[in-house]
Amino acid sequence: MSQGRYSSEEEALVGLARQLADAFEEARTEEDRDYAAAAIDDFLSDHDHYAPTEALIALLDLPLSKQSWPLVDSVESTLIERGTEVVEDLLAASCGHVYDVDGPVPQRALETLHGLSDTKLLRGLLRILAGRADDELKQAAVGRLVAVGEPAVAALEAALYDEAARRWVEDALGDIRAAREEAGHEGSRAIGESSKVVEEPGGHDVA
């Protein structure tokens, strides 16, 4: 594959994926869409196992149609198969760090994250907290960990020993603890409400 104006093969694959997505979106006839879809299918067949995550995420930008939905499904499946290694890029995309912020990529990236097993998702999120990601992405990782809730606690407690991640891990554990306490208060309030005296239509009280 000729790199042309790109500095690396990975960069060239990202550029090609964006061009293919743009070509499909700009297709004006059914024949043109079929041709563009076939080109994307060929790209996935040839490169899906080693194309950079960014290239696959670029293909999540495809407008949904009968030709594109199997392609989008294939891209999401490939990303899910890669597991932990794609979490940071998918989280960044879900936060709007994409080529076309107004397109469908952020939502599809979030859906793909949801397709990962808890184990792979947790491992990827904790890797973000311990890595060189910016504060915005680390805060987003904390949010996803809090959304996972109790299943994330053991892994978070183990990560407290990582000095680089500790601040963010403590934030996540604090938010999970607060959510647990709030749920407990809500449960107690509901029990209290249900045990109150209820007045029957005839004016008699029943406990």
Which band of pLDDT confidence, cut at 50, 70 and 90, is reported for residue 16?
very high
Chain centroid to Cα 93, Å, comes to 8
Give domain limits for the chain: 1-116, 117-191
- Residue 197 pLDDT exceeds 50: no
pTM of the predicted model, to two decimals?
Answer: 0.84
Which band of pLDDT confidence, cut at 50, 70 and 90, is reported for residue 194?
low
Q: Interior CA angle at 149 toward 147 and 154, to 5°?
A: 135
Torsional sign, CA 144, 162, 54, 42: negative
Which pLDDT value is given to residue 188?
A: 55
Which band of pLDDT confidence, cut at 50, 70 and 90, is reported for residue 1?
low
Q: How many CA atoms lie within 13 A of 15 on its CB side?
A: 12
The mean of the pLDDT values for the chain is 89
pLDDT tens digits for range 24-50 = 999 999 999 999 999 999 999 999 888
Token pair 């198969």: residue:
81
Which band of pLDDT confidence, cut at 50, 70 and 90, is reported for residue 207?
very low
Q: Interior CA angle at 137 toward 131 and 113, to 5°?
A: 95
pLDDT tens digits for range 39-78 = 999 999 999 888 999 999 999 999 999 999 999 999 999 9
15/43 Cα distance (integer angstroms) = 12
Which pLDDT value is given to residue 58?
A: 95
Contact 48, 78 (CB under 8 A): yes
95/106 Cα distance (integer angstroms) = 6
